[in-house]
Structure 1
């Protein structure tokens, strides 16, 4: 199964089969081909993806796409007590009742937690996922043009949880009821999520990302975006939020406090929000650590700065040790590999569900995967 993540700056592709990562690769997204999360030039994206497929020598064509960004809505709502299949059949009518009015066509999916049917009354809690149709269909157009067979679409928050909680054991005393905070710093947004054991409990997407840090370096040094990104990867962030570059470069330090303050303020808000949802002192409301991943994980010293600022443990989400790899990764660091987390999560979920999903089916056993249906081939 292939997992595909089409971002504003890069395209990430992974291959995952029988519990092992068989291949991974990336290529730049063609400039101005993805605007506001929509693939506005699917042919150019398809050409880039086709070149990446040839380079990776991928023999299969089934792919599960991951979709994230500020346009993806995750919201807990009260819905009629129905089975998940019945609820998702009724989603086009039920979901808009819980969202602000919009003229934009949307795709909807409900996820019902395992304990939901234990609630008394005529309603139960469910998580509503809503994604603009253009965000999904434009990606499907590009994938079809590249000769791939898309089977489903997976929300990014759930993809992150799928990978980063892989070794959590819900039935063990260590992980029972445990909440984990996940922060995926992408180029143009940041996905902050809370996982309860191995399920996504809450997610919020912020309009801050690695681009903000890169642009700060760009302005301070008069560099191009590409030069600033390269310099950022060579730099070291201290506990005061200042970037220091290697001495041979002879460059002055650059402050990233604006970006870092925005990031840590939102992390602190997440801790307070989680605490407020439960009785004072409850273990369920405790967030004592953050796992950081995504492209922003390459910022050397970021976890130390966040730990110092928040007074909490902040670590890099280490997917190298979380997964089995059939491809050489000895020369890779967890910080660099963090950019593949979302694509890997989609591939893993697609691998689990491929036996139960059929192309063009109106229903799917998975509550989270949006089966591809009614999308004309380009």
Structure 2
């Protein structure tokens, strides 16, 4: 059977979405708050141009309607259809060499996590291994030494994700209180990972990376159609995870901005992020402080890329991201409050 995809286009929010929905000119994307009015059909004998919903052939209509279903609560958290905005995931790197915020010790990382929660983070992602291009791998024993004290403390206050590709670290982190595993290799690195996760109740983020090693992922990445190829990869990894015993309701997908992609690839993925909605899992988006944003904005120092990062977060919110992974929580939360007031149809705004 030929693989087919439906790409939602013409996304809108707020009063425009409400009016289009009322006039049967649009459908809600993943239960809302965004709506889409056009689709691009991808597959054999598909039209070459985007078409309005009224012109979708009957054979494609089930796939279109599947895009409207509200997403299950990932790790028990409310989704954008509940909140009217994406969740904000604060990044806590307990590493000496992360690209923008390395050098934190355990006490500093705990303090940073609490500060992010006070600033409005919905959950935290704690990692003990830098995965920047060219980074040296960290043994699970050292990774655990770094992250477990931080997880134990912050799990008392928030939903915690552990950013790791190692099964031993996953198991120890879950025992310490983590509820989500964020694996940049989408369960390809460690054969034991799927067994550990299938025996748990953890939710899992599956990310696209070119290859399985951050040291080589940026060596001449090439794609014929980066958005479609990433979508196909993630759909296949979701199916593989299901075969391993992980139900789809526990899975989220991440296009892996900057992981084996050059600037044009990253921009194409941001522009076509709604294509991933067809997988039926929450979309996680992480572009915070990344090099391509610095290139576009002319900012060399990673920690100074706050405004470009917030701009990318808002763009992702408008393209259907369910969770946005950021270093600068306060600024992102403030910006999303304005976005939410508009995207939710002004209900969140204070009329006074």
Higher helix share: 2
TM-score by length of 1: 0.27
TM-score if structure 2 supplies the norm length? 0.28
Indicate the structure with greater strand content. 1
Higher relative contact order (CA 8 A, sep 6+): 1
Name the larger-Rg structure: 1
